[in-house]
Homo-oligomer: A and B are copies of this chain.
Amino acid sequence: FLREDIDEEVAKLLELKAQLGDDGKTQFVLKTPKGTRDYNPKQMAIREKVFNTIIRCFKRHGAETIDTPVFELKETLTGKYGEDSKLIYDLKDQGGELLSLRYDLTVPFARYLAMNKITNIKRYHIAKVYRRDNPAMTRGRYREFYQCDFDIAGQYDAMIPDAECLKIVHEILNELDLGDFRIKVNDRRILDGMFAVCGVPDDKFRTICSTVDKLDKMSWEDVKKEMVNEKGLSEEAADQIGEYVSMQGGMDLAERLLQDHKMSQSKQACAGLSDIKLLFKYLQLFHVTDKVVFDLSLARGLDYYTGVIYEAVLTQAGTVSAANEAQNDTNAEESVSVGSVAGGGRYDGLVGMFDPKGRRVPCVGVSIGIERIFSIMEQKAEASPQKVRTTEVQIMVASAQKNLLEERLQLISELWNAGIKAELMYKKNPKLLSQLQYCEEAGIPLVAILGEQELKDGVVKLRVVATREEVDISRADLISEIKRRTEA
């Protein structure tokens, strides 16, 4: 039993109890579906900030954006995700087409390219995807979650778009200021070549690859056990794989492996290694090699990758989430990495699977693991003394005396029409104190106070919430004064 399993069982029992109610009758269950959550205004404010940073980066790199439906024809998703296909949500057959919720944004993107015969595009797509996985909400693993994808489709010279994808990951993780990170790089052709020269039978490449993929969660001993006992690989082959997958380095490692007497026997591996060398050359020009590691243990789960693959991990265990994770770990090494926050790779065959004539459109892309990033940003916000504002309201229109609702409505209407963000309390005669308190709570910096005297004088009393300073401003100057005081 893991801690989270127990939590889940407890939640189930509590739910059953709630359904029974006091008198044993079935009651209504007030919850979101398993593995999903609402975002409250504070979470949304943080989410908006993170999205803006990411979108700004994607736009800086010249990406357009597209959108696709949340569900696809079931057959569109069939045969694209290997062992993970069982996690796809299907819609009920209510007469008509058989539909499934999208599992990622990559397959719908490939479908879109083939359907519209597009051979060149650089696009980003930020949207929710759905996986009937075992949720682990404390680790930021949900059944409904956002993906932020950037992809470059087109027949181009080797490794130039690939290097840009890594530059983007580097820019985003830097700008979000999440602490130190590493970007691991490998190539599916190197993995396949390695499997071949280590004596893995051809028909076991994919399944052995998905076992290697577990190295970030399991020790080598356990991975080897799975290879030998469950997947029927010879112990000798497993040991040879074990030697390779422990290797990490940079361009030098790629050069060394190109000379390796075993690895160099595989044409595929050599093609992959040459591309890794070229990639590192471009990454040097981008000044990002300090964070990039060529790591032969990186496998990535999805079936559709054909070339370079990569994954970014945060290496600082400075957050609550990291601490939680460390507690759950059986493997001490794991506490160093708080998990993947971005990943991607090259998939040159996927679009061709959709094209009636099998025309290929080479693609490379990256997906930002936004949910983990949210979790970390949320914890940072909690820990910070600064309050997260959930609105951008500049001013509250208040009254000091009774019977001034009409005057408040007239004034706020003028402010809205001038583009000022303004609120008033929906009461005929609110107390001045409660209006001021509302401003304190909501972080509204200014109050426009109306009273009999102010109306007579053609002015508004402008109060600065933080300093309690008050000045009379003529109605004619009010809008420019508010703008002057609130525009950052």
Q: Which residue of B lies closest to A118 (CB)?
A: B40
- Knowing A33-B97, A71-B33, A89-B91 are in contact, say whether A40-B157 is a contact too (CB < 8 A): no
Interface string of A66-90 (1 = CB under 8 A from B): 1111111101000000000000011
Answer whether residue A201 sits at the interface, using C-beta atoms and an 8 A cutoff.
Answer: no
* Complex contacts, A28 vs chain B, CB 8 Å: 75, 354, 356
Query: Do residues B69 and A38 form an inter-chain contact, with CB atoms below 8 A?
Result: yes
User: A144 at interface (Cβ–Cβ under 8 A)?
Assistant: yes
Residues of B within 8 A of A73 (CB): 29, 31-33
Known: A33-B73, A89-B94, A167-B413. A427 touches B156 (CB 8 A): yes
Assembled-state Cα–Cα distance A445/B128 (Å): 34
The answer to whether the Cβ of A161 comes within 8 Å of any Cβ in the partner chain is yes
Chain B residue numbers with a CB within 8 Å of A48 are 65
Q: Which residues of B contact A420 (CB under 8 A)?
A: 60
> Do A286 and B36 contact each other (CB < 8 Å), given the known contacts A70-B70, A390-B64, A391-B64?
no
A423 within 8 A of B: yes
User: Is A41 a contact of B62 with CB atoms below 8 Å?
Assistant: no
Q: How far is the CB of A56 from chain B (nearest CB, A)?
A: 8
Bitwise interface map of A from 149 to 185 toward B, beta carbon under 8 Å scored 1, else 0: 0001010110011011001000100000000000000
A167 CB contacts on chain B under 8 angstroms: 413, 416
A41 in contact with B27 given A69-B33, A406-B285 (CB within 8 Å)? no
Chain B: CB-nearest residue to A132: B94
> Is the CB–CB distance between A59 and B421 below 8 Å?
yes
Given contacts A92-B93, A409-B282, A426-B157, contact A115 B61 (CB under 8 A): no
- Chain B proximity mask over A254-293: 1 for CB below 8 Å, otherwise 0: 0000000000000000000000000000100111000000
* Residue contact B97 to A32, C-beta cutoff 8 Å: no
Most chain B Cβ neighbours within 10 Å, of A27, A48, A75, A167: A167
Give CA–CA (A245, B448) in the complex, Å.
Answer: 43
Residue of B44, B67, B422 near A64 (CB, 8 A) is B44
Tell me whether A422 and B62 are in contact (CB under 8 A): yes
Separation of A280 and B426 alpha carbons in the complex (Å):
16
Q: A391-B62, A392-B59 are in contact. Are A72 and B33 (CB under 8 A)?
A: yes
Give bound CA distance, A469 to B30, whole Å: 65
Q: Check if A70 sits within 8 Å of B128, measured CB to CB.
A: yes
Is A39 among interface residues, defined by CB-CB distance under 8 A?
yes
The answer on a CB contact under 8 Å between A38 and B66 is yes
Neighbouring B residues of A47 by C-beta, 8 Å: 67
- With a cutoff of 8 Å between Cβ atoms, the chain B residues found around residue A115 in the complex are 30-32, 38
Question: Within 8 Å of chain B (Cβ to Cβ): is A467?
Answer: no
In the assembled complex, the Cα of A269 lies from the Cα of B285 at a distance in Å of 75
A428 within 8 A of B: yes
Interface hits, A218-245 → B, CB 8 Å: none
Whether A144 pairs with B92 at a CB distance below 8 angstroms is: no
Pick the residue among B40, B157, B287 that contacts A427 (CB under 8 A).
Answer: B157
**A30–B420 Cα gap in the complex (Å)?**
48
Cα–Cα, bound, A354→B36 (Å): 19
Question: Which residue in B65, B112, B121, B157 is a CB contact (below 8 Å) of A44?
Answer: B65
Contacts of A63 in B (CB 8 A): 391
Q: Is A116 an interface residue (CB 8 A)?
A: yes
In angstroms, Cα B37 to Cα A420, docked, is: 37
Q: Identify which of residues 4-41 in chain A touch chain B, using a CB-to-CB cut-off of 8 Å.
A: 27-34, 36-41
Q: State whether A428 and B157 are in contact (beta carbons under 8 Å apart), knowing that A111-B30, A354-B28, A410-B285 are contacts in the complex.
A: yes
**How many Å lie between the Cα of A154 and that of B427 in the bound state?**
11
Please judge, given known A-B contacts A171-B416, A426-B152, A428-B157, whether A421 and B33 are in contact too, CB under 8 Å.
no
Instruction: Decide: B112 and A38 in contact? CB cutoff 8 A.
Output: yes
A208 at the interface (CB under 8 A from B): no
Instruction: State whether A66 touches B92 (Cβ < 8 A).
Output: no
A123 within 8 A of B: yes
| Contact of A385 with B by CB under 8 A | no
For the complex of A and B, list the 7 residue pairs with the smallest distance between their C-beta atoms, beginning with the closest: A156-B426, A41-B64, A36-B69, A62-B423, A90-B92, A39-B67, A160-B426
- Chain A contact residues, CB within 8 Å of chain B: 27-34, 36-41, 44-45, 47-48, 59-73, 75, 89-94, 96-97, 99, 101, 111-112, 114-116, 121, 123, 128, 130, 132, 144, 152, 154, 156-157, 160-161, 163-164, 167, 171, 282, 285-287, 354, 356, 390-393, 405-406, 409-410, 413, 416-417, 419-423, 426-428
